Amino acid sequence: MGCEEMLPPYRDGSPLDAPLELAPLPSSREWVGRIAYLDRDGVLNVGSEEYVNAPEEVVLLPGADTALGRLRRAGFRICVVTNQSPIGRGLWGHENLASIHRRLRSILQSGDDDAALDLILYSPYAPWDGSWARKPNPGMLEAGRQLLDFANSNPGSKSRFLYGREWLDRPDESTSVLVGDRHADMGAAESHGVRGIRCDSSLGLASVVDSILGDGNE
């Protein structure tokens, strides 16, 4: 399976394989490999069937900032994985999405200093493109794991990627989680081998963070 066939994910603000610089976790906590993969709309911010089309349309769901901060304080890296077919449909482009994400990052951290997003990956493809990156396929999760692992162990270096059947030596994902509000999110979680938690799109991350942190490791 080559990248030309699988249509890989895009990375917010940088080429996919560019070095990823990770900010320290709160209290300089050591990262032990746990990732919270988060859908965007209906998890962090209010979604719309007509899409979130501009920065001023970004509205946080109640408590999303604090919930995100709690995850990072518990030692999770945060990787947003979001389908963004308006780009593939020709409604608007990558720079518009980047401006939406700048607004999202800003309002999250204005509510909780620790509510940083370590990585945002997105699939710009339309549903009919058959992309491996578009959920329910697991391409964004696969790329996110490899980017975060590589940034942790080889800071300043470009990442290398394997997908699908090409990726044989996979790390254990039993301590990671994916939170989403749609069936496609749960499909991606199952395909990637990570625990999937479906939330109510009107309540988002704050409604499920206790179940993620229920082991007391906060």
Q: Which two tokens stand for residue 40?
A: 């965007």
Cα 160 to Cα 31: distance, rounded to the nearest angstrom? 21
Contact criterion met (CB below 8 Å) for 81 and 95: no
Cα 115 to Cα 69: distance, rounded to the nearest angstrom? 4
Contact criterion met (CB below 8 Å) for 9 and 121: yes
Is residue 11 within a helix (H) or strand (E), and if so which, with residue range?
Answer: strand 10-11
Cα 127 to Cα 64: distance, rounded to the nearest angstrom? 28
Which residue, among 48, 133, 49, 57, has the nearest Cα to 101 in the 3D structure? 57
Catalytic residues: 39, 41
DSSP 17-86: TSPPPPPPPGGGPPP-S-EEEE-SBTTTB---TT---SGGG--BPTTHHHHHHHHHHTT-EEEEEEE-HH
